[in-house]
Structures are given as C-alpha cells and as structure tokens.
Amino acid sequence: MRAAGFARGLWSVALASLPGWRGRSFTLARATGAPHGGDLQPSACPGPRGRQLSLSAAAVVNSAPRPLQPYLRLMRLDKPIGTWLLYLPCTWSIGLAAEPGCFPDWYMLSLFGTGAILMRGAGCTINDMWDQDYDKKVTRTASRPIAAGDISTFQSFVFLGGQLTLALGVLLCLNYYSIALGAGSLLLVITYPLMKRITYWPQLALGLTFNWGALLGWSAIKGSCDPSVCLPLYFSGVMWTLIYDTIYAHQDKRDDVLIGLKSTALRFGENTKLWLSGFSVAMLGALSLVGVNSGQTAPYYAALGAVGAHLTHQKWGLKILPRLIL
C-alpha cells in the first residue's frame, strides 16, 4: 500500500505534464509562475443571462472582488500549475513515509497543500518585487500586478509578510525538527529569483527550492530525515525541475538575451536534449535507489517505468530553435 501511494504520486506527475502544446508540456513556470499553455480548463456551460460558468482557477480569480484580484494574481492563484509542482515532492515523501499497508496521512497532505499555496505565492511575490523593472520590458510579464502598477512595492511587501505569517502558522503545526528544517528553506525562497542575473543555472536554484518538501514531508511523518531515502528523493526532484524548467526556459530565451538574464536554455542551446537525457537518467536512477532503500514493491517500479517513458516522449517531441546570436 505504501508503494501504491507513491506510485499514485508519480502518476500524478506524468498526468500533470501531459502535452497541451508542443515542447511546453512539462512546464511550470520557472520560479515566476508563468502562464502554462497546457493548463486543463473544464468545459464551460451556459449560465444565466447568456454568461458561461467556469471553475478554472483563472475564472475563480476573475470572479473575486476587484480589489483582491491583483493580490490573487500576484500569488499566481490563477495559474496553479506552479503550486502543484511545489506540492508534488511533498506528497512523494509523505507517501513513502506511510506505514506499510496504510494510506498517506491525509492531515499532512492537506497541511502541506495549504503550505504549498502560501509558499508558492510568497515566492512569486518576492520574484515580482525583484523583477519588476525586467517585467515591464517583456510583453508576457508586463501585465503582472507590480509591473503594471496595480500594486505598489510597499503593498506587495505587506502582502508578502501576511503570506509568510500564515505559512509560519502551518509550519508550527509540525514537529520541532521539521520546523527547523522548513525555516532553513527561507533563504532559498528569497534568493532564487536573483539567480538568473548571476548564473546560467537558475533552474538548479529553483530545483533546490521547489523540492525542499521532499525532505520536509518525510520528517513531518517520521520526526527526522532518513538520508538513504530523503537525499536521493530530493536529488531526483531537483533533476526533474531541471528538466521541465529548461524546457520552459526555451520559450523565453530571446527576451532573456535582450534584457541580460541567464538560463539553462541559453547554456545548453542545441545540446538541450542531451542534457535532458542526462537529467532523466539521474532522476530515474535516484528514484530507483529510493525504492530499494525504502523497500518498495512492483507498483512503484511500474510507475517509474511509465515516468521514464513519458520523459522520453517529451524529450523527443521537443523542438529546439536554432542557436541565438548573443
């Protein structure tokens, strides 16, 4: 049953990244929570007075009171894929930490889901505060609340304080070891938006940040981290982030060159598929080690096989544009 719980988590990874468009299917959003062309939208049905009803995240945000909408967009509540990508590593470790024959702890899953929403929102707020001058120069990001002038820097700072306070409340529901471990991620959350200014590996910084839950979920259940399980699980999550965010970064590389930002897409160029192959092998190898060290059974390895097939499909379907003249 423990293996089945983790297998479901891995299946959700594959399903969350099914291709909705060529070459962007794994996308999240870089640390910025950018638009995802493949987000699934529930079919709309005619509503009263000829209006269409929709339960999509964007529709929910659009139906919120107008003064609240800029803040909801600032935390990317209308683009939930980034929250899922932050939350999924937490579910992996919570599922792995479950006792044999038992389902994952639903209370912990709910607690970490709430924390993922808050911390992803805080990360996006920090990102937009750092990047507001850059965002104004790019069509895709010019409408973000701070760049567009809908929210001032001071207002966003106060809002950030509120999000972090609520996230602290969630963290305090965990054991002392997990509280200390969770607090340790704050430095990553604050600094990763700056990495694209100084290194061609900002996706690595994003991976280190977004997969912290792979450590925290296990410690929340067990009271501490088992290095033989948690470290390879964390490493595999970092490799996964390098895969999907490198793919995503390719659509922004022209703008990145123009405004002087860096990314693995620019670093790898036409060799991107070779790098993605290496990351995929490392990810699957680390997850296999996790399975061995935690005593997983056939469903776990079946899920790994499906994820490996999906990664291969994504890699070969990726279209890399010719090298840019820098």
The 10s digit of each residue's pLDDT in 273-297 is: 999 999 999 999 999 999 999 999 9
- Above 80 in pLDDT, residue 42? no
* DSSP β-bridge partners for residue 157: none
Which of 141 and 293 is assigned the larger pLDDT?
A: 293
- What integer pLDDT is reported at residue 102 of this predicted model? 85
Please check whether residues 168 and 193 belong to one and the same domain. no
Residue 114 lies in a domain: yes
Tell me the C-alpha distance between 241 and 207, whole Å. 5
- Check if the beta carbon of residue 129 is closer than 8 Å to that of residue 158: no
The DSSP-derived string for 251-278 is GGHHHHHHHT---HHHHHGGGHHHHHHH
Which of 47 and 308 is assigned the larger pLDDT?
A: 308
Residue 97 lies in a domain: yes
Query: What token pair was written down for 71?
Result: 């803040």
- Above 90 in pLDDT, residue 304? yes
If you average pLDDT over residues 243-265, what whole number do you get?
91
- The helix/strand/coil state of 305 is helix
Please check whether residues 109 and 71 belong to one and the same domain. yes
Q: Which of 2-16, 17-31, 49-63, 80-94 has the highest mean pLDDT?
A: 80-94
- What integer pLDDT is reported at residue 322 of this predicted model? 62
If you average pLDDT over residues 36-59, what whole number do you get?
53
Q: Give the CA-trace dihedral at 202, 203, 207, 210, to 10 degrees.
A: 80
- What integer pLDDT is reported at residue 254 of this predicted model? 87
How many CB atoms are closer than 10 A to CB 320?
Answer: 15
Please check whether residues 145 and 192 belong to one and the same domain. no
Number of folded domains that form the chain: 2
If you average pLDDT over residues 25-29, what whole number do you get?
35
Tell me the C-alpha distance between 220 and 209, whole Å. 18
Percent of the chain with pLDDT over 70: 82
Please check whether residues 131 and 238 belong to one and the same domain. no
Burial 18-50, CB ≥16 within 10 A → b, else e: ebeeebbbbbbbbbbbbbbebeeeeeeeeeeee
146, 173, 200 - which closes a domain = 173
**Residues of the domain holding 136:** 58-173
Residue 73 lies in a domain: yes
104: amino acid identity, one letter: P
- Above 50 in pLDDT, residue 10? no
Please check whether residues 208 and 316 belong to one and the same domain. yes
If you average pLDDT over residues 170-194, what whole number do you get?
94
Please check whether residues 125 and 216 belong to one and the same domain. no
Range of weakest confidence among 98-107, 261-270, 274-283, 316-325: 316-325
* DSSP β-bridge partners for residue 46: 52
- Above 60 in pLDDT, residue 260? yes
Residue 1 lies in a domain: no
- Above 70 in pLDDT, residue 121? yes
Please check whether residues 165 and 226 belong to one and the same domain. no
Name the average pLDDT for the chain: 84
- What integer pLDDT is reported at residue 140 of this predicted model? 82
Residue 252 lies in a domain: yes
173, 200, 231 - which closes a domain = 173
- What integer pLDDT is reported at residue 15 of this predicted model? 39
- What integer pLDDT is reported at residue 27 of this predicted model? 34
Range of weakest confidence among 36-40, 66-70, 117-121, 170-174: 36-40
What phi, psi does 81 have (nearest 5°)? Answer: -60, -35
Residue 245 lies in a domain: yes
Please check whether residues 79 and 100 belong to one and the same domain. yes
Please check whether residues 224 and 300 belong to one and the same domain. yes
Tell me the C-alpha distance between 250 and 322, whole Å. 11
- What integer pLDDT is reported at residue 135 of this predicted model? 87
Range of weakest confidence among 29-38, 229-238, 315-324: 29-38
How many CB atoms are closer than 10 A to CB 243?
Answer: 26
- What integer pLDDT is reported at residue 292 of this predicted model? 96
Residue 201 lies in a domain: yes
Q: Which of 152-161, 185-194, 314-323 has the highest mean pLDDT?
A: 152-161
173, 196, 213 - which closes a domain = 173
Which of 321 and 173 is assigned the larger pLDDT?
A: 173
pTM attached to this predicted model: 0.80
Residue 23 lies in a domain: no
- What integer pLDDT is reported at residue 243 of this predicted model? 96
Confidence of residue 52 (pLDDT cuts 50, 70, 90): low
Range of weakest confidence among 110-114, 116-120, 247-251, 302-306: 247-251
- What integer pLDDT is reported at residue 323 of this predicted model? 57
Please check whether residues 318 and 232 belong to one and the same domain. yes
